[in-house]
Amino acid sequence: MGIAAHANESSKYTFVLTADTYDEYNKLKEIYSLVPFCENYAGLSFLYNKYDFPFIVSELDKIGLKNRRIDKKLYESIKSLHNITPLKIHPDLQARIKREVKPFQVEAIERMSGSPFYLLGDLMGLGKTSSALLTVMNLLAYGKASSAVIVATASSLGKWSDECSKIFGKKHGIDIVVADGGKEQRAQIFRDEHQITVINLESLARDYKQLMKYNKFKRFISNSIIVVDEAHRIKNYDTLNHKSVYALGNMALRKYALTGTPMDGKLTSIYGIFRFLHQPLFGKFSSFDKFHIKRDFFGGIDSFKNVDIVEKKAKPFILRRRKEEVLGSFPSIVEKDYIIPMTAAEQKIYKKLEKSEIQELYDSKLISEDARIDPDMEISIFSACCQWCDCPGLVDPQWKQVGSKMKALDEILEQVIEGGNKVVVFTKFKMMLDILSKYLKYDMCLLYGSMSSKERKESMDEFLANPDKKVFLMTTAGKESIDLHGTEIDGKWVDGANYLIMYDSMMNPAVNEQITGRIDRIGQQKSMTVIRLFSKGTIEETDVRDTILKRMKINKAVLEGAGL
């Protein structure tokens, strides 16, 4: 009983398994049904994607085809794709580092340096920026590339230069520049070919087609490393953001992605990130869709399948750690769900909202004519229900009573602040932030989407530096690239927030993790508490919580191999 493996001349990404007997052929057909990028090649042979190799070998062992004949040279070349040889930190670079690099960061640097593509998916607060910057400098030190382009969000452009100063000292001598200003200014910065160029993802999406017309730019990228920060922003492969980094990535020497939330409960997210990193790993989306997605009658995503195969194929190219795994004594985090009962008046109107009995609400004058509800839009009804839970005044401006959830928040804040703590309060609705900022009787700082980068930084600095500022009130605009756990002032550590109150929760668990990551970071000195508020007997308690738990389960199955 033997199966021979042969290289296929037409593609460097395929190999062929050939059965010696019809019995073996029938067993191979079982595996054929488990692998999406596979076709009947000729006679008793099957053509496979090389990146399916570890999975296929394990399946061959399961069905008893252990005495297979495999070409050793081919076997080793395929195996090497999955066995990354770490590249140690260059001695010259080691001598320049002024700050301690923790062992778990060294592991990330060496693994990323040893692979042409990689996803660093550590949870928020584990220093992905430092690890990525040191990886870039390590590869430059070894002569593996001549330059690097870092694609970042608008709010995090400046942190890369700051990180250089923290790691290598203020006189670091690294040629790092932010490609900002007008379109022509950004193009000129690329033409100048700096050692490290940092560009805003949205700017790149606008500029890349024009930049691709310049041969000098193409030569520059062809000798560069591409690093995408907050890579969950390119998870949708058919968006302009994704297409822009994908175009650059196709020319680059090496590609790396950084995100603490690589999945949002959907396999399509991991596909989008790896399409940028290395498309042959999962192939074309049409094949991925057919093999991993169950569609409903209308063509929408109903559920996912073969999740274990995605986990096995992606595992060699993902490094994801939790704080408790790498920092044994890291402060603990306690999570609490508070279920808040509504008043009878609130509940009466909520039930009719949930049943879409909008006209009856108007006719009975339970709500005013100013109420913001579109009875013909299902999404508007859902949103109205969520807003009613937060504060009835969000739906009906004429509602004058203080909402049950607002009263509960006020009581919780009083206890938390009396305990000497600082707290971040999150709401997804800007109008809710406005209401809370007037209702709560605390000296607080705010952060929301329409604030400029300068205003955001001033608000964060004020919260951390001023002991009288106990509450930081923010929307989803604060979910990325801000640190509220504390800071160093004049060489001394000053504690920031160690409490987070989710006034309302996002249905995407990845976003909720990002928000938690604003206080759950390296340097946090205190134990942390995350409090989530849900209105009793509403879609908040059922739909929102259930969806979060379901998506978290899929994330864990792929990223941690936990199974479904």
Three-state SS letters, 488-500: EECCEEEECCCEE
Q: Residue 25: which pLDDT band, with cuts at 50, 70 and 90? A: low
Burial class (CB in 10 A: 0-12, 13-18, 19+), 403: buried
- Give the DSSP H or E segment for 225: strand 224-228
Say whether pLDDT at 55 is over 80.
no
- Residue 86 identity (one-letter amino acid): P
CB 519 within 8 Å of CB 424? yes
Q: How far apart are CA 64 and CA 56, in angstroms?
A: 12
Q: Please give the pLDDT value at position 1.
A: 38
Say whether pLDDT at 547 is over 50.
yes
pLDDT above 70 covers a percentage of the chain that reads 76
The residue-averaged pLDDT of 339-358 equals 84
The residue-averaged pLDDT of 114-131 equals 88
Structure tokens at 535: 């209105």
Which residues are registered as beta bridge partners of 295?
Answer: 301
CB 116 within 8 Å of CB 255? yes
Q: What is the pLDDT of residues 453-465, one digit of tens each?
A: 788 889 999 999 9
Q: Please give the pLDDT value at position 107.
A: 93
Q: How far apart are CA 450 and CA 477, in angstroms?
A: 9
Better-predicted residue by pLDDT, 70 or 431: 431
pLDDT above 90 covers a percentage of the chain that reads 30
Say whether pLDDT at 198 is over 60.
yes
CB 536 within 8 Å of CB 339? yes
Q: Residue 487: which pLDDT band, with cuts at 50, 70 and 90? A: confident
3-state secondary structure of 23: helix
Q: What is the DSSP letter of 544?
A: I
Say whether pLDDT at 256 is over 60.
yes
CB-based contacts of 116: which residues, under 8 Å, 6+ apart?
A: 253, 254, 255, 278
Q: What is the pLDDT of residues 284-312, one digit of tens each?
A: 888 888 888 888 888 888 888 888 878 87
CB 71 within 8 Å of CB 59? no
Highest-pLDDT range among 90-99, 372-381, 506-515: 90-99
Highest-pLDDT range among 69-73, 152-156, 232-236, 261-265: 232-236
Say whether pLDDT at 386 is over 60.
yes
The residue-averaged pLDDT of 339-361 equals 82
The reported pTM is: 0.66
Q: How far apart are CA 26 and CA 47, in angstroms?
A: 15
Q: Please give the pLDDT value at position 228.
A: 95
Q: What is the pLDDT of residues 213-236, one digit of tens each?
A: 888 888 999 999 999 998 988 999
Better-predicted residue by pLDDT, 365 or 36: 365
CB 395 within 8 Å of CB 346? no
The residue-averaged pLDDT of 61-71 equals 55
Which residues are registered as beta bridge partners of 181?
Answer: none
- Give the DSSP H or E segment for 227: strand 224-228
Say whether pLDDT at 239 is over 60.
yes
3-state secondary structure of 458: helix
Among 116-130, 148-162, 353-367, where is mean pLDDT lowest?
A: 353-367
Q: What is the pLDDT of residues 128-179, one digit of tens each?
A: 999 999 999 999 999 999 999 999 887 777 788 888 888 988 788 899 998 8
